[in-house]
Structure 1
Amino acid sequence: MSDRRFRFGVVGSPRSGADWMTTARRAAELGYETVLMPDGLQLPSPFPSLAMAAAVADIRVGTFVAAAPLRTPRQTAWEAHTLTVLTDGRFEFGIGTGRPVAEQQTAEVGLPWGTARERREQVIETLDLLRELDGERRTPIMLAAGGPKALALAAERADIVSLAKDATTPRSEVIAVANELRTLAGSRADDIELATNLLAAGTRPLPPWTKRASGVDPDALEAMDSLMLLRGTPHQMADELLRRRESIGTTYITVNDTYLEDLAPVIELLAGN
């Protein structure tokens, strides 16, 4: 379905400056193309953290994803544009309407949470302002999309689309979402990179935190062929990613930094593919 080559990213959460620098440098050494960071008050701010990662390693960086309600649109666009300038174009701007936990955090910073429509309009306003700030230098945009309205926005504005379905979503439904996105995108379809995020890779037993992240017991998650898992030997994992590219079109593969080393052999096997 897609002849776009694979690329890989790692999603990290800095526990210290030294730890974060180690993650960025190791990711670059292993062939990952991006270091990504979530957004939330429980973590260091993503924008300076990503600037630090880009300064210590020859790697792209990105928000995964910035929660629009946590800042005003002008502030978020300013932060994103700044990273594009300071990294000489190595920044990818992921933005979304915010996960449920962001509602309390938005109140903590003194901003309104708003309705789903208002938060979606914040995303659009931020993208418009970023385009104005960027001028001729354009920041790549990542949007997560699963529902009809998010898919329509992603089809119109995104360079990268992360298919926003939970860990229990059947493969057939994810394929249907990807096909709907391509239909909505029309002539833009081939320009959109499809992304998927992995909770775990390799053969190690799933850690307890996967239940918090997925809402499903690890054993049940293993049994249901979840697309948030990539299990097996490096060759088995590489073959599975080739199948997913053929059926879904996903070529941008990101993984939790816990599995940084586990996925690395797959990157080597699929290099240039």
Structure 2
Amino acid sequence: MTGTDTSSGVRPFRFGVVAPILNGLPAWRDQVRRIADSGYSTVLMPDVQQWQPAPGPALAIAATLAPELRVGTWVYASPLRAASSVAWESHSLSVLTEGRFEMGIGPGRPGMEEELRQSGLPVATPSGRLAQVRDAISALRELDGPDLHTPVVVAARGPKSWALATELADTIICAVPSESRDEAVRMATAARATRDMELALHVAVVGDERSAFMAGPDTDIAALRAKDSLLVLPADPKAAVEELLRRREEGGFSYIVIGANAAEVLAPAVAELTGR
């Protein structure tokens, strides 16, 4: 994980890519190598059962394809598996990648109740889902022990999830798709006032293109732009650089995660901003 620039309180930029396996393994392997060659720091896998391979095995392969990359989940949905199982897999990945794994976790996607029922899993309340996130992090810390610290990235939407993430996470994902820029910045500022931490943005739309597994097919891009949502970035690299600098200045956002379909488009911006 990148440290803070203690002279200014500003964290250097880093960039991650959500890279689901969509077009077969050979194409995905090539994609992972291109992501590494383009200067991105992290390859991430979504947690959507039955649509693609499970994130743990896929990330283990990605880590061997590009030893310079970090790998992580974006993000484990806490209702889908026992907290002890999430912790065990995460600790194992952290050990096997020699510290290059980041456990991204959250209370689950909106509307995933039907998926839980089809899997024969209980449909927990929102508070219950947050408790599952807490339990997974606690179990991971016990497995890591004093000699290993697996970075934890928590997706936060409402006030309760922001409070939990502020307490326990190394990085908070600002997962507020419907809110305006001002609302997202307000929540980020409140979190940073509590303690120093990395803030991440889930950028689901670059230009006019929606990224797979990062936004639903019914995403109203025009409505997001009207709200000045932080889910959207311009496709022009120069404009993207200016916008990302503004987002870091206003809200402290320094870890930017995009979809694999936009990785090549934004590569010039990544080259300019990484580590800056």
Deviation readout 1:36-65 (Å, 9 max, x if unpaired) = 111011222111011111111121111011
List runs of 5+ in structure 2 lacking aligned partners: 1-7
Output aligned runs, 1:230-245, within 5 Å: 230-245=233-248
Instruction: Give the aligned CA root-mean-square deviation in angstroms.
Output: 2.2
On the 8 A contact 1:95/1:142 being kept in 2, the answer is yes
Tell me which moved more, 144-153 or 215-224.
Answer: 215-224
* Residues 1:254 and 1:27: Cα distance change in structure 2 (over 3 Å): same
Q: 2:110 aligns to what SS in structure 1?
A: coil
Deviation readout 1:157-211 (Å, 9 max, x if unpaired) = 0001011211x4211111111122123xx2xx22x1000011233x5x4369799
For residues 64 and 208 of structure 1, the distance between their equivalents in structure 2, rounded to whole angstroms, comes to 13
Output aligned runs, 1:1-273, within 5 Å: 2-15=9-22, 16-41=24-49, 42-58=51-67, 59-135=69-145, 136-166=147-177, 168-183=178-193, 186=194, 189-190=195-196, 192-201=197-206, 203=207, 205-206=208-209, 213=216, 215-273=218-276
For residues 210 and 48 of structure 1, the distance between their equivalents in structure 2, rounded to whole angstroms, comes to 18
* Deviation beyond 2 Å, 4+ runs, structure 1: 100-111, 205-226
Amino acid at match of 2:173: S
List runs of 5+ in structure 1 lacking aligned partners: none
Which has a greater percent of helix? 1
Q: 2:216 aligns to what SS in structure 1?
A: helix
The TM-score with structure 2 as length reference comes to 0.89
Matched-pair identity in %: 43
* Residues 1:207 and 1:227: Cα distance change in structure 2 (over 3 Å): closer
* Residues 1:208 and 1:227: Cα distance change in structure 2 (over 3 Å): closer
Amino acid at match of 1:51: A
Tell me which moved more, 153-162 or 98-107.
Answer: 98-107
On the 8 A contact 1:163/1:178 being kept in 2, the answer is yes
Q: CA deviation at 1:124?
A: 1.1
For residues 211 and 269 of structure 2, the distance between their equivalents in structure 1, rounded to whole angstroms, comes to 24
For residues 193 and 207 of structure 1, the distance between their equivalents in structure 2, rounded to whole angstroms, comes to 25
Q: 1:179 aligns to what SS in structure 2?
A: helix
Tell me which moved more, 222-231 or 169-178.
Answer: 222-231
Q: CA deviation at 1:2?
A: 4.8
On the 8 A contact 1:2/1:249 being kept in 2, the answer is no
